[in-house]
Chains A and B, each alone.
Chain A
């Protein structure tokens, strides 16, 4: 069973997608298909505070293009959407982490907290997917057929 933190991360991700791109993900019922992909996109961001956290998102790289297309109002196959895919995923992490941090701190908190710059790398698909989705701190969503795995860990990645 996923942790409460994982569910909160999934809820923040869903809210970010619904608000910024009108994409409404649901809890995933089947998580196996993405593992067959050779390469996956790993977007991440750290926030430092009390406590800090590392938020990571693992998806097929194509989801970045899908997200960018939804935000820009263009076809998924459009060159602009493909080019903007990695940036769309990084910005999605930025917004999701901010929602999580605000939720954690509360609306009136003045506790010091600094969001980092989001990062994007491509990783080996099957191995990363198995490790990531086997972690109880991960939540998995289905957004229009795209599987999204999100995880929240402490800021040192532990």
Chain B
């Protein structure tokens, strides 16, 4: 079985674009899970223990900032790398997340090449 990746974003089109990018990226047999807000993302992370989480920040129910900080504070999920994929314009929010342990940040709008590169780098230097 290949890498397991959880996409947390309230935008269905963004989840679909990222999913398509992953499937076309050359990663062997990726398993993709989706969640549409932070609360669902927390549940999915605990259930599936993915190899990587791609998280938006601005979401209803529970935003990505709160979800990510909870993931990083939980011994059961803190080792899962989190990459924020967001339109977040505040550099202070991104800096806070990096200090908390977020592995990377992809600013929207993104190209498929950017997402693909960051995923591969985060999953272990697969080029």
Contacts and interface: CB of A to CB of B under 8 A. Distances in A.
Contact of A109 (B10, B20, B58, B91): B91
Nearest to B95: A110
Interface string B104-121: 000111110000000000
Contacts, number: 71
Interface residues of B, number: 23
B92 A72 contact: no
Contacts of A90: 11
Contacts of B16: 71-72, 80, 84
Interface of A: 15-16, 19-20, 47, 68, 71-73, 80, 84, 87-88, 90-91, 94-95, 97-99, 101-102, 105, 107-117
A113 B89 contact: yes
Interface in B1-36: 10-14, 16-17, 20
Nearest to B90: A113
B13 A91 contact: yes
Contact of A87 (B13, B58, B59, B91): B13
Residue of B11, B59, B111 with highest tally of chain A CB at under 10 A: B11
A76 to B, nearest CB: 14
A20 B72 CA distance: 30
| Dominant secondary structure of chain A at its interface with chain B | helix
B100 interface: no
Nearest to B14: A91
B91 A98 contact: no
Contacts of A73: 20
A72 B58 contact: no
A105 B111 CA distance: 23
Contacts of A88: 13
Contact of A84 (B13, B60, B110): B13
14 contacts: A72-B13, A84-B12, A84-B16, A91-B13, A95-B87, A98-B88, A98-B89, A110-B95, A111-B90, A113-B89, A114-B90, A116-B58, A117-B10, A117-B59
